[in-house]
């Protein structure tokens, strides 16, 4: 496959020279496309958008009727490649170029015309040269993947601290588990004295970590309360009808449109409910219900 990748990004004259050895697929390409992205596994990369350069080559099913029809709807538009890049950059913050490349390739291959996608992504601001990855994916590679599968809509349940500590906790969990929708439990901070730094970025992290301590405290009280931190874990749990407790740090910090403050656990629960298009948000405890919501809110 290494030679295929080299040829995919080679000069058109080299590709033309291969025609004598067999059929060569039609191709369209997007070259030297630059976009800004907040991406990277290192802490110093967070909050500092960097330039990414994309080179994409797509091999296509033959389209013999295109020459006669001159119909733009009959082809894979260059815009669809650029839109695939923009959509994945906007979906969530990622740590790895490899993950971004895989998702862009899948999105392109979901179109009807592509046979193979060659994709190179390079970071331009991380050193004296370009640091990047190259992948090739085919329609056959995607054959066993359900690209349209979506997780079911969950119920988000917010527990305040008295609810966590009550002897009736199991009863509350039983009631949630009896419903048809998967359940994601969200909690707030503990009742301990809150650490204050006076520095917004570090304060946000401390507030999220204090909520996660409370999530683990709830998990210790009932084996059904499995703490999860990533969207992948949440989607898996929802597809399998499991009840989980949300540890918010990763999803909140990686979100492009994340909440500004992490101090209010109920506000975070509402944000998650709207983000996941939840069936409803059920609030357990004597807390004030949010006034304006895009999902139904009710008190347990």
Banded pLDDT at 255 (limits 50, 70, 90):
confident
Q: What residues are paired with 127 via a beta bridge? A: none
Average the pLDDT over 260-275 and give the result.
88
pLDDT band at 79 (very low <50, low <70, confident <90, very high): confident
CB 54 within 8 A of CB 88: no
Q: In what order do the strands lie in the sheet with 114-123?
A: 26-37, 50-60, 114-123, 131-138
pLDDT of residue 20: 43
| pLDDT: which is higher, 166 or 76 | 166
User: What pLDDT is stored for residue 65 in this prediction?
Assistant: 57
pTM over 0.75: no
Nearest one of 55, 56, 30, 58 to 124, comparing CA atoms: 55
Predicted local distance difference test score (pLDDT) of residue 230: 87
Confidence of residue 78 (pLDDT cuts 50, 70, 90): confident
CA–CA distance, 184 with 277 (Å, rounded to integer): 12
DSSP E strands in 107-162: the ranges are 114-123, 131-138, 155-159
The predicted structure's pLDDT at residue 66:
56
- Confirm if 114 and 8 have CB atoms less than 8 A apart: no
Is the separation of the CB atoms in 271 and 251 below 8 Å? Answer: no
CA–CA gap between residue 266 and residue 270 (Å, rounded): 6
Who's near 56: CB < 8 A, 6+ residues apart?
29, 30, 33, 81, 85, 104, 108, 117, 118, 119, 120
- Confidence check: pLDDT of 169 > 50: yes
Distance, C-alpha 154 to centroid of its chain = 17
Domain annotation for the chain: domains and CATH numbers: 2-138 (3.30.1130.10), 155-299 (3.40.1160.10)
Selected residue with higher pLDDT from 173 and 236: 173
Answer whether 196's CB lies under 8 Å from 168's CB.
Answer: no
Report the pLDDT averaged over residues 235-240. 82
Other Cβ atoms within 10 Å of 204 Cβ, number: 20
pLDDT in tens, 121-138: 999 998 888 999 999 998
Which helix (H) or strand (E) element contains residue 109? helix 97-109
- Binned at pLDDT 50, 70 and 90, residue 28 comes out as confident
Q: Rounded mean pLDDT of the chain?
A: 84
Among 17-31, 40-54, 153-167, the range of highest mean pLDDT: 153-167
Q: Is 63 helix (H, G, I), strand (E, B) or coil?
A: coil
* Closest of 211, 191, 220, 298 to residue 261, by C-alpha: 211
Written in H, E and C, the secondary structure of 177-235 is HCCCCCEEEEECCCCCCCCCCCCHHHHHHHHHHHHHHHHHHHHCCCCCCEEECCHHHHH
Please state the rounded mean pLDDT for residues 266-282: 93
* Calpha distance 72→66 (Å, rounded): 8
Highest mean pLDDT among 37-46, 106-115, 214-223: 214-223
**Per-residue pLDDT for 24 more than 70?**
no
């Amino acid at each position: 496959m290494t030679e295929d990748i080299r040829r995919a990004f080679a000069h058109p004259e080299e590709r033309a020279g291969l025609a004598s050895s067999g059929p060569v697929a039609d191709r369209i390409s997007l070259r030297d496309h630059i976009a800004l992205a907040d991406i990277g596994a290192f802490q110093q990369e967070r909050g500092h958008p960097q330039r990414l350069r994309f080179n994409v080559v797509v091999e296509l099913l033959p389209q013999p009727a295109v020459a006669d029809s001159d119909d733009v709807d009959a082809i894979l538009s260059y815009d669809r490649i650029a839109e695939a890049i923009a959509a994945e950059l906007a979906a969530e913050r990622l740590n790895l170029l490899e993950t971004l490349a895989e998702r862009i390739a899948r999105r392109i291959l979901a179109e009807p015309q592509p046979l193979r996608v060659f994709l190179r992504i390079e970071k331009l601001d991380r050193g004296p040269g370009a640091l990047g990855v190259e992948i090739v994916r085919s329609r056959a590679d995607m054959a066993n993947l359900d690209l349209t599968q979506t997780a079911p809509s969950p119920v988000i349940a917010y527990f305040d601290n008295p609810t966590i500590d009550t002897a009736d906790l199991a009863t509350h969990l039983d009631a949630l588990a009896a419903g048809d929708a998967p359940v994601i439990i969200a909690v707030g901070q503990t009742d301990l004295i809150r650490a204050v730094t006076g520095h917004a970025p570090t304060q946000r992290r401390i507030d999220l970590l204090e909520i996660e301590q409370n999530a683990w405290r709830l998990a210790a009280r009932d084996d059904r309360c499995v703490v999860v931190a990533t969207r992948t874990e949440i989607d898996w749990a929802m597809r399998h009808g499991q009840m989980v407790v949300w540890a918010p740090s990763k999803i909140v910090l990686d979100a492009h449109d994340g909440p500004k403050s992490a101090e209010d656990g109920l506000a975070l629960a509402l944000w998650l409910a709207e983000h996941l298009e939840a069936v409803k948000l059920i609030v357990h405890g004597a807390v004030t219900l949010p006034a304006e919501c895009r999902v139904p809110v009710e008190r347990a």
